Every structure is written in structure tokens, then in C-alpha cells.
Amino acid sequence: MFTNKTVLDRRLPCVHRYLSLPIPDNTTQCMYVWIDGTGEHVRAKTKTVDFIPKSPSELPIWNFDGSSTGQAEGSNSDVYLYPVALYRDPFRLGNNKLVLCETYKHNRKPADTNFRHTCKEVMDKAAEQHPWFGMEQEYTLLDSDQHPFGWPKNGFPGPQGPYYCGVGASKVYARDVVESHYRACLYAGVMIAGTNAEVMPSQWEFQVGPAEGIRMGDDLWMGRFLLHRVAEDFGINVSLDPKPIPGDWNGAGCHTNFSTLAMREKGGITHIEKAIEKLGSNHAHHIKMYDPNEGRDNSRRLTGRHETSSIHDFSAGVANRGASIRIPRQVAEEGYGYLEDRRPSSNCDPYRVTEAIVRTTCLD
Ligand code: ADP
Ligand code: MN
Ligand code: MN
Ligand code: MN
């Protein structure tokens, strides 16, 4: 199972030699990154510019062939890329940049999977309430045959129990991918908060936050891009499927921790409770916003088992990991802090999730 990695290790000195070739002063390789027509996967391509960009607005609007990404018809295929956030490039190093982009159609209207556009409007409206988010991105590593990485090829590993936050060769698989991704995020400027091995073997989590407003979606998408890109170097695939293995194996979610300034101040628990009440009145809408297929993906995961609530019911509780919303124990004791919405699917669009939460709880 380490074949790909071994090949890579032999190739590495050679790749490094080319990547350390000096490039002309003031030349920057800018890798434009965008969300494709699935609303779940990312695409990227690179442009050379003859200056060192300090902000995304200095970079040119670009375009791509939307008919090849599920984003346009062949007869009118150009989709525009508008640079919106800049990150340092942990692969090419130097002054080179990763450029997160929004997609726009030929008529300059947001493309169908551009949910950042309205998210940004909502975050601007709620700016005075200083909404913070922390998202816990769970994911599963797959071998090149799409089977979970490190699992026996003709069967299953032992039952769940020893894997969560596990240590040891038969407890966790591909830690080197996780460590490399963590560094890459820190280098790039993604606000990564931590990582842990998850309940199902070869399932992991990284957290981003606390990030204010639109930065939550930006940094989580860039964190996902970095994960796919790092894993590519190891010959490993990343799945964001919310229930990659049916049966007695945990699914993958994207718990979304949320607070406003009022919730974070002394006595803020009353604001947390008010927000939970509003979330309860809008359960069906939130479920629609919490995966790319209006709840169909998440319905395989939110069964009421394996540390989830049922997709049909709304519930909230202190330290309750079987509820839709969990109030962390410490928050209940101190009387202020944040809430955790446990419903979003691992393949959710963080722009849709954070927009829905702010619309429901801050802009009613
Ligand atoms: P869990 O116990 O559910 O596994 P994690 O430690 O994985 O929790 O994730 C908690 C997340 O909550 C982190 O991303 C952290 O940045 C975020 N967070 C902490 N405080 C706040 C806050 N006041 N508002 C929003 N998010 C917060
Ligand atoms: Mn967590
Ligand atoms: Mn988790
Ligand atoms: Mn959680």
C-alpha cells in the first residue's frame, strides 16, 4: 500500500531540483482555485504575472472552459474567475500565490455554485455582530482503488473503538498526509485550529477557526484544496462523502461552531438560547443548505445513530453529541461562549452553511 509513496520519495530530490530553480525578479506564479459545477470539488490552473500581488484586487480577472467543469454549455463556455482571497503557495514557495476565486457567468451573474456572492452580502450586513465560526472538517482517505486507505483489501478492520485520536501503526493510517497538510495550511495562511484521527479508521478531521464572517468559507475551501493537493503527492484520494462506508461505521460531518459578540460576553447564554430557538424554527431550510443535494447526501449520515441526530428532528442539549445543536459543557458552566451545529455534512459548502446560520439568527 505504500508503493505510490515510495515512488514519490525517489522522485522527490529531482522535483526539488527543478522547483528550486530561480525565477525572474517580480515574477509570480498564481494558481487560481475555484469550486466546480459539483459544488463539492475544486479545480485550479496557473497564470504568471509580472509583479508580486499584495491583495486579490490587484490580480486580473481570468476565465476557464465551463463546459469541462459542469459550469456552462459548450456554445457559450467561458466562465469568469474573480480573485477574492490570496494565500502563500506551500508547493511552489517564494512569492508564489494561491488565489481563491469566485465564478461568474458570461452575463456577469454569479455561476450556479458560486454561493460566496450572497454569503458575503449577508456577512457584510451582520458585520456589527461579529459572527465567528469554527468548522470541523471530517474526511476519509481512500486508496487509488477508492477503498479506505490502509483497510484490508478483502474485508474490514476491527470494529470502531481504538481509532479515535489513535496512536500506533494499526490504529491510524496515513498520518504523514495529515501532518503535511497541517503545515501546508499554516504556511499558506489558512486559520487551521487543529487535527485529530476520527472514529472510523482512515477518517480524520481538521478544524478551521475561529474565523470571522466570509473568512470562514474562504479558509475552509482553501484548506480543502490543500488537503486534496497534498494527498495527491502521496497517491491518496480524499473523500468528503458524508457516509462513505454503510453500516456500523461513523459518517463524516462538518460541525459548525458559531458565536456572535453578544454570545461571547458575560451572560451570553441567553443569546445562545434565542439563536437555538430560531434554528429550531428553520430546521428544514437548514438541512437543505447543509449538503450540495438539499439533504439527500446527509440523510445517509443523520440517522440518529453514530453520534448524530435524526435528519427529521431538531434537538439541542448541553454536551449532547446526539443532538442537532450541542452547547459545550464549559459554555453552559460559564454562561457564555458558542454553540455547535452538528448537522452540516462533510461535503457542505461553508458559504451556504454560514450564510444560513447568520440569516436565521442575526438578520431575522
Ligand atoms: P469538538 O469538541 O466538537 O470536537 P473541536 O475542538 O474539534 O470541537 O472544534 C471546535 C471549533 O470551535 C474550533 O474550530 C474552534 O476554533 C471553534 N471555536 C472556539 N471558540 C469559538 C467561538 N467562540 N465561536 C465560534 N467558534 C469557536
Ligand atoms: Mn472535533
Ligand atoms: Mn469529529
Ligand atoms: Mn464537534
| pLDDT tens-digit series, residues 223-268 | 999 999 999 999 999 999 999 999 999 999 999 999 999 999 999 9
Query: Residue 316's closest CA among 301, 334, 332?
Result: 332
Mean pLDDT of the chain: 95
Q: What is the pLDDT of residue 2?
A: 47
Cell 472552459 belongs to 65
Count of beta carbons in the 10 Å neighbourhood of residue 186: 13
For ligand 1, atom 1, name the residue with the nearest CA: 136
Query: Which ligand number lies closest to the CA of residue 275?
Result: 1
Question: What domains sit in the chain, N to C, each tagged with a CATH number?
Answer: 3-114 (3.10.20.70), 123-362 (3.30.590.10)
Does the pLDDT value for residue 72 go beyond 90? no
The three cell numbers of residue 22 are: 530561480
Residue 310 has pLDDT above 50, yes or no: yes
Say yes or no: CB of residue 219 within 6 Å of ligand 1: no
Tell me the mean pLDDT in the region 88-113: 96
In the beta sheet, which residues pair with residue 289? none
338 lines ligand 1 (CB under 6 A): yes
pLDDT of residue 11: 63
Rounded to whole angstroms, the Cα distance separating 355 from 332 reads 25
Instruction: Establish whether residue 262 lines the binding site of ligand 1, counting it when its CB lies within 6 angstroms of any ligand atom.
Output: no
| Predicted local distance difference test score (pLDDT) of residue 77 | 86
pLDDT of residue 8: 56
Residue closest via CA to ligand 1's atom 8 equals 136
How much is the average pLDDT of 292-308? Answer: 95
Segment 280-292 mean pLDDT? 98
pLDDT at 332: 97
| Spatial CA neighbour of 102 closest among 134, 132, 57, 68 | 57
Locate the ligand 1 atom nearest the alpha carbon of residue 210 and give its number. 16
Q: Is the CB of 136 under 6 A from ligand 1?
A: yes
Pairing of strands 28-35, 42-49: antiparallel
Residues 42-71: tens digit of each pLDDT: 999 999 999 999 999 999 999 998 999 999
Using an 8 Å Cβ cutoff, are 58 and 51 in contact?
yes
Spacing of C-alpha 346 from chain mean position: 8
Compute the average pLDDT of residues 293-315.
Answer: 95
Q: What percent of the chain has pLDDT over 90?
A: 90
Amino acid sitting at position 341: D
Find the mean pLDDT for residues 100-124: 97
State if residue 210 touches ligand 1 by the CB under 6 angstroms criterion. yes
**Nearest to residue 251, comparing CAs of 312, 317, 199?**
199
Query: CB of 99 within 8 A of CB of 83?
Result: yes
Residue 190 Cα, ligand 4 centroid: separation in angstroms? 19
Q: What is the predicted pLDDT for the residue at 6? A: 55
Nearest of 103, 190, 206, 201 to residue 160 by alpha carbon: 201
Residue 213 CB less than 6 A away from ligand 1: no
Tell me if 258 CB under 6 Å of ligand 1: yes
Q: What is the DSSP letter of 339?
A: E
What are residue 49's DSSP bridge partners?
28
**Which residue, 72, 60, 218, 53, is CA-closest to 135?**
218
Q: Which residue, among 341, 334, 333, has the nearest Cα to 278 in the 3D structure?
A: 341
Distance from Cα 252 to the centre of ligand 4, integer Å: 11
Phi, psi (5° rounding) for residue 131?
A: -70, 125
pLDDT attached to residue 3: 46
